[in-house]
């Protein structure tokens, strides 16, 4: 067995166009029925404002698949800690024997989630945008801005979060990193009304975006709702959208923004909902004009975890990096 550390993974796996292409191919595999992905298992620790998810998927033809344990503890910022953490385990598809542990502390999840945001924006956002709006000021809010910059050449970011201090810190840091103007919005409404593309990255349990704020040409990527009790968008937002995209319809209907719209009867069925893999595979088109309002509901898939973990494994193994640990099981004797 090989063990890889966060520092090793960060050195050779970055959020870049290669990572985006790998995750995009994963979505295509999913829609082409070339992946087996069970429902997410989750443990909620509501009294600690935390959760732990287990996600996995087998991509047909691959030698290994990943099982990921991912945590989100949303009071961690008070301790100076990231809200996200976790690790990934790679298991042989031939023998079931564990092959590697990726002690990434949630880093690969940050990368693959941001990559999905970039893919959504590339297919659904207008080609020419001036202002990107980011709701939330945590780690994933930063990754999403970096990812968007890889596919759209925006000039300004508006940021809004519950903590003005965190928003201001975000503005200073991301302005320096991306070389764009970053302003703190006074409200979510101000941000939405003045942005071409909006990304929501919060663990909100009540909507932070209202349908009345939508305007022609707007694209929204909502990636914070990945549990039944979470919600970032009013259900009416989904009804107002000209195109509604999910990473997977089944998962979003259970955990994402889509499930609130279905439960409230705002949407009566999923027939017009598009899966992201239908766009990446070329089966359906994304944005077709500059006036459409588009919404993408991302809940995070096991396929993303497996493809990014396999990529990370290959990058480190070819450089002969990783701690090798003997992990042999004694054969039974007759």
Catalytic residues: 68
Strand partners, 3: 101, 323
Number of Cβ within a 10 Å radius of residue 92: 13
Residue in the structure block whose two tokens are 């000209």: 242
Number of Cβ within a 10 Å radius of residue 255: 23
Number of Cβ within a 10 Å radius of residue 164: 12
**Helix H segments across the chain?**
6-12, 17-31, 107-124, 139-151, 164-178, 188-193, 235-240, 249-255, 257-263, 276-280, 302-317
Q: Quote the CA–CA distance of 5 and 107 in Å, as a whole number.
A: 10
Q: Considering all CA atoms of the chain, what is the largest pairwise distance in Å, rounded to the nearest integer?
A: 73
Give the CA distances from residue 229 to residues 56, 268, 299, in Å, rounded to whole numbers and listed in that order: 22, 20, 13
Residues comprising the chain, all counted? 334
Q: How many helices (H) and strands (E) does the chain have?
A: 11, 16
82 alpha carbon, distance to own chain's centre: 16
């Amino acid at each position: 067995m090989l063990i890889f550390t966060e520092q090793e993974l960060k050195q050779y796996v970055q959020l870049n166009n290669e990572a985006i292409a790998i995750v995009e191919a994963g979505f295509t595999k999913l829609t082409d029925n070339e992946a087996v992905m069970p429902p997410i298992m989750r443990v909620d620790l509501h009294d600690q404002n935390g959760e732990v998810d287990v996600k996995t998927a087998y991509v047909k033809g691959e030698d290994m698949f990943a099982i990921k344990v991912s945590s989100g503890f949303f009071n961690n910022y008070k301790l100076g800690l990231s809200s996200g953490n976790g690790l990934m385990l790679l298991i042989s598809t031939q023998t079931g024997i564990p092959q590697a542990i990726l002690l990434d502390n949630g880093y690969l999840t940050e990368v693959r989630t941001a990559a999905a945001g970039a893919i959504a924006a590339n297919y659904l956002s207008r080609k020419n945008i001036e202002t990107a709006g980011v709701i939330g000021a945590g780690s994933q809010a930063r990754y999403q801005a970096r990812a968007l910059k890889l596919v759209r050449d925006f000039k300004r970011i508006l940021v809004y979060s519950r903590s003005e201090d965190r928003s201001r810190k975000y503005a200073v840091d991301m302005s320096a990193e991306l070389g764009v103007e970053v302003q703190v919005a006074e409200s979510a409404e101000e941000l939405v009304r003045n942005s071409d593309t909006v990304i929501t990255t919060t663990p909100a349990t009540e909507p932070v975006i209202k349908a009345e704020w939508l305007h022609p040409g707007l694209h929204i990527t909502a990636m914070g709702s990945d549990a039944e009790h979470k919600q970032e968008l009013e259900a009416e937002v989904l009804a107002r959208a000209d195109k509604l995209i999910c990473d997977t319809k089944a998962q979003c209907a259970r955990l994402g923004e889509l499930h609130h719209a279905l439960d409230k009867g705002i949407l009566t069925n999923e027939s017009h909902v598009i899966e992201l893999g239908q766009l990446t595979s070329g089966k359906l088109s994304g944005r077709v004009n500059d006036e459409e309002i588009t919404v993408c509901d991302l809940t995070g898939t096991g396929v993303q975890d497996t493809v990014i973990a396999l990529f990370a494994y290959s990058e480190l193994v070819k450089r002969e990096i990783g701690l090798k640990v003997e992990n042999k099981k004694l054969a039974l004797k007759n």
